[in-house]
Chains A and B, each alone.
Chain A
Amino acid sequence: MTIEPEMLMAYADGELDPLNAKRVERAIADDPALAQQVERHRALRKRISDSFAPIADEPIPDQLSALLKNNVVDLPAPRRRPILTRWREAAALAACLVLGLVVGLKVPHGPVSSGAGGLYASGSLAAALNDQVGGADGAVKVAVSFRDKQGSYCRVFSSSATDGIACRDASGWALRRTQQGSTTQRSDYAQAGSPDPDLMAAAQDMMAGEPLDAKAEEAARSAGWR
């Protein structure tokens, strides 16, 4: 009877069911070389495990634990999904209609204007995207800033008219994603700007590397986001 190397290894690791374990034990009894193999597997396992074990006992670098202890990017708790998702689709559609109206009417100083590459932020929204510090309260709130995979700066924002993600290109802040403004549904104005989980998930997909910290954001802002 031949014992596959995989089965012998699984036996050494205690991963075999009793029936197969018995088979291996019988084979081992007839063949000292197999018994030696099992010992080598166990010895290797111990050696690998022992040599990495001390790393788990090292103190955690402050920089790492700080990410969790003062989680600057204040993310909302996960919500129950199924029903909300449908509402959100409806809300997104409604937001598109609102945007269409705003653009169609060419309201001066509205939050959105139509440019060469699609929709762009204008008026107070553009001003906030240009100047506002991430996390600061205001009519528009910027939750996170990051660089996308093409290297453009992008910012996740929320406001009464619309929430979304805008990325800076040659013409201005191109709106990559929009949905109905979160603040319209809430009475407490100061609560504006807890980013929607879907929006944050979309931002994560677009993101190259990590979100900008305060320092990197300030540097990007003073360089005009280019």
Chain B
Amino acid sequence: MAAFENEMLALLPRLRRFARALARDAADADDLCQMTVEKALLARGSWQPGTRLDSWMYRIMRNAWIDTGRARGRASETFVDAEAGSGMGSDGGAEARVALGEVEAAMRRLPDEQREAVALVLVEGLAYKEAAEVLDIPIGTLTSRLVRGRQALMLDLGEAA
């Protein structure tokens, strides 16, 4: 196995965690990982050796999530809302929600722009500057999305930290 593949392999745990923070459930996150690795293998010619492979992979994953995840995410929100509105009677839905955990559920209620900022900085531990580069936005835009996302999470999670 070549060095490039080895480095990617070492990044997979972090990529899976990032995918989980973005995607709507574990299965979706695994799909996103699969897609990201395949896209990265195909696009490896565009990676500049000496630059950070992790940032490059985060960017590929985030773009893949936008291409496929957002549209599906919107469609599923309506579905989940309707299900939640119909009460706790449906076993499958209630079980799935419990398994997701409070924090993941709260993350999923964030607007996409805030969710990706929170995922990169709070979940992945990137510096503001690094996160802004992955998202290709000015650092001021990143901090305003991040602060709004955090305020929403504090409210949602009842500030009981």
Residues of chain A touching chain B, judged by Cβ–Cβ distance below 8 Å, are: 5-6, 9-10, 13, 15, 40-41, 43-49, 51-53, 55-58, 60-61, 63-65, 67-69, 71, 73, 75, 77-79, 197-198, 200-201, 203-204, 207, 209-211
Contacts and interface: CB of A to CB of B under 8 A. Distances in A.
B63 to A, nearest CB: 12
Nearest to B153: A44
B144 A48 contact: no
A9 B143 contact: yes
Nearest to A73: B41
Interface stretch (B7-15, B81-89, B90-98): B7-15
A55 B33 CA distance: 13
A57 B13 contact: yes
Given A15-B127, A67-B34, A47 B41 contact: no
A116 to B, nearest CB: 31
Nearest to B127: A15
Given A46-B161, A47-B161, A48-B122, A60 B16 contact: yes
A90 to B, nearest CB: 20
A68 B8 contact: yes
B41 to A, nearest CB: 6
B38 A60 contact: no
Given A60-B13, A61-B30, A52 B144 contact: no
B144 A204 contact: no
A209 B31 CA distance: 11
Nearest first, the 4 A-B pairs at minimum CB distance are A43-B161, A197-B45, A51-B103, A56-B13
A94 B67 CA distance: 37
B44 interface: yes
Contact of B1 (A51, A64, A69): A69
Nearest to A45: B122
Contacts of B44: 75, 78
A157 B125 CA distance: 43
B20 A52 contact: yes
Contact of B41 (A40, A45, A49, A67): A67
A60 B43 CA distance: 22
A137 B30 CA distance: 33
A64 B37 contact: yes
Interface in B119-161: 121-123, 125, 127-128, 143-144, 146-147, 150-151, 153-154, 157, 159, 161
A41 B122 CA distance: 10
B41 A5 contact: no
B45 A78 contact: yes
A56 to B, nearest CB: 4
Given A56-B14, A65-B12, A201-B46, A49 B123 contact: yes
Given A61-B30, A200-B42, A55 B20 contact: yes
Interface string B38-55: 110111111101000000
Nearest to B128: A15
A60 to B, nearest CB: 5
B12 to A, nearest CB: 5
Contact of B157 (A5, A44, A197, A203): A44
Contacts of B147: 5-6, 9
Given A56-B17, A65-B9, A65-B12, A6 B143 contact: yes
Nearest to A41: B150
A59 to B, nearest CB: 9
A34 to B, nearest CB: 14
Given A48-B122, A75-B41, A201-B42, 17 more contacts: A15-B128, A44-B150, A47-B161, A49-B123, A51-B103, A52-B20, A52-B21, A58-B13, A64-B12, A65-B12, A67-B37, A67-B41, A71-B1, A78-B47, A201-B43, A209-B35, A210-B38
